[in-house]
Structure 1
Amino acid sequence: MSDDLLGRHRSVLPDWLALYYEEPIEITHGEGRHVWDSDGNRYLDFFGGILTTMTAHALPEVTKAVSEQAGRIVHSSTLYLNRQMVELAERVAQLSGIPNARVFFTTSGTEANDTALLLATAHRRSNTVLAMRNSYHGRSFSSVGVTGNRGWSPTSLSPLQTHYVHGGVRTRGPFAALDDYDFVAACVDDLKDVLGHTRPPAALIAEPIQGVGGFTSPPDGLYAAFREVLHERGVLWISDEVQTGWGRTGEHFWGWQAHGRSGPPDMLTFAKGIGNGMSIGGVVARAEIMNCLDANSISTFGGTQITMAAGLANLTYLLEHDLQGNARRVGGLLIERLRAAAAQVPAVREVRGRGLMIGIELTRPGTDEADPAAASAVLEAARAGGLLIGKGGGHDTSALRIAPPLSLNVAEAEEGAAILERALRSTL
């Protein structure tokens, strides 16, 4: 970088603002499933701006909608009627599965979860919250207070009293050796035990698949079993769909639907992919919950005309092109290809996930000890080979995170898997 952008970054931005790679890159433009850096290098993008470029880079339908809306009006706030916001809310409410749903738009997943916690605690008149171990829900004061991942929790101070329960990670912890049926039963018993020792909680907040935690998940049906226990006590269920929503898992449109035998959650939160890069987040809740606040509120930047135009165009494209089905088909091929490659690499503890949301956990060979240095090395090698991926995990960031745009085709999946296989073999 001729103008020393990295040095300028370090001189004016926080030290804790993480950058990937020993030599960080500046991404200047993208198209489809590819991006280019300021040195002209081309990469296959398997991380999509942290699962945010959900359909494709520079998707014509979205860029056209944004351009046309920018030529009319960009923003007016929620103090005025907003046709685009109403239209997107109608579609999201219908897709959510929540009866008599109301939708509130925010600018991010953090703000969406923050709002859901406000609604739950106000509705239930309790500041006690249940959350999952290894979870991540954002970087605001309240969302950090329900994040069960030490690496992303910079303070123990919180306006909430949070109790963490088992179940978000299937292959670690005290119940890992149990079969799925007994695992769920043990986690339900743990939940009941926690409930017996706490003030009545407002809600359980849970990611159906833990994103920052390394794409870990419980057996299907765990949150349905939790819901039955919670419902008896009036405790709300908030499904954090910031990373799992909009069909990314392939099998379901929402992550909660893998646990849906007891019906939809009381609230769900969303963000990231719906804007395809534009800042959209939100909460869907039953009307009685959404309307429980007894003070005025607005959202200055939540639901602006330009972001809503992008969301409408992006959602239309996703549905009309069956990107959920594509995630199921291409994601299934990709995960099997990666499992075959990983079988020859002793440092790979597990390849997990569904659809186009895949995690590869790395450990020191012959142990369950996390190996974050190995994850960083594979990240570097993949980049050198022309592939961008992410990393995460609740055990010292030792999981690789793979989440391409949902329009990924078979040839690109094969190309990315081959690059990643070479990166694994060359570094581990």
Structure 2
Amino acid sequence: MAPKHFTIVIKLGTSSIVDETTHEPILSILTLIVETAARLRRDGHNVVLVSSGAVGVGLRRMDVEERPKNLPRIQALAAVGQCRLMSLWDGLFSHLRQPVAQVLLTRNDIADRTQYINAQNTFSQLFEMGVIPIVNENDTIAVSEIKFGDNDTLSAITAAMVKANYLFLMTDVDCLYTANPRNRPDAKPIEVVPDISSLEADVSSAGSTLGTGGMSTKIVAAKLATSAGVTTIITKSSKPGNVHEVVKYLQQVEPDVREPAKMVNTVVEVPPLHTRFLPSEHPVQSRTFWLLHGLKPHGTIYIDQGAYSALQKKASLLPAGVVGVDGHFAQQEAVRLVVVQRLSPESLNGDFLHHGQEPKEVGRALVNYGSLEIERIKGHRSTQIQVVLGYADSEYVALRENISFFQSDDPVRR
């Protein structure tokens, strides 16, 4: 049987590649990562590195002792550090004659569907050329509104974008444990998580002083990636060779990895300790994932139960089903969809009751009208839009193709 070829995303945190005290790049780890990635490429796999560390390297380059709190200064250090970081990666990979490419992203870069597809096409072309893309958030220009938040989230979105088979989240522990192994010697490793929504583990460990993530952000990233059909793996960052060994093991396992004991008729070596989150049995499609997780919502539209039921039957969102609007957003921007109950079916003023229940966010939508326009047409029939606004760009507040719903266990509802 010919070996299976995978698309593999490897996420490296700042603390994995930059010394927390001296801010010097940890060349021994960087070298091992380069050897591992190049080896995977030689085995026929597509490889993406999601590399943090620009700010950390910038601190060292500019002899700054602590990460500043001033945003412009952080962004300036990121600009200095990103240049140095890519120089390091390129220099190390060049020893193995492995070409690399830099890909810097913010949410704005993938907010437009065309740009998102362009990014997918760029990755695809780099793979065809045998190049390893090195992805980082564009910290030089990113502000809170367009940031992914941390590179764990960025790596999950990247993995979904490139339709990866595996996402490796490198961290300072071998795997997840039932409790914190540092103070609970009876803690047991969790090697396979079939359903991440039912996970019971200690995820309280925080990120380093240089980085922005911790174990909890890795769980969120794993939920994101597995919802898109990507098997997600946590393993030790100080042993990058583990990635190759785990991939080699997974190449020999039956396609149905939900039965890891069921193997091809061959001797399979036990892989290094790791935690493997199995993908959703019903992964969301690329466009759905983009709507739910690639875009930053700019506001909220409250809809009634009748509108929600109609949307689930593939209808588009009519203004009659809109109860209220929150936030300021423009046409073709993403919003949250929240289901509430009207005071009365005839109410056109947006009043609604919760009846003791919190409003339920059910999904996201790209709207055909801005917040001020929707505020005016909410509760009206589509035939009245022209009368109320003086124009009618569409009879719908949002088209069904531009609406996506969360799954019951969806991880991120920002």
User: In terms of Rg, which structure is larger?
Assistant: 2
TM-score class normalised by the smaller sequence: under 0.3
TM-score (norm 2): 0.27
- Higher RCO structure (Cα 8 Å, ≥6 apart): 1
TM-score (norm 1): 0.26
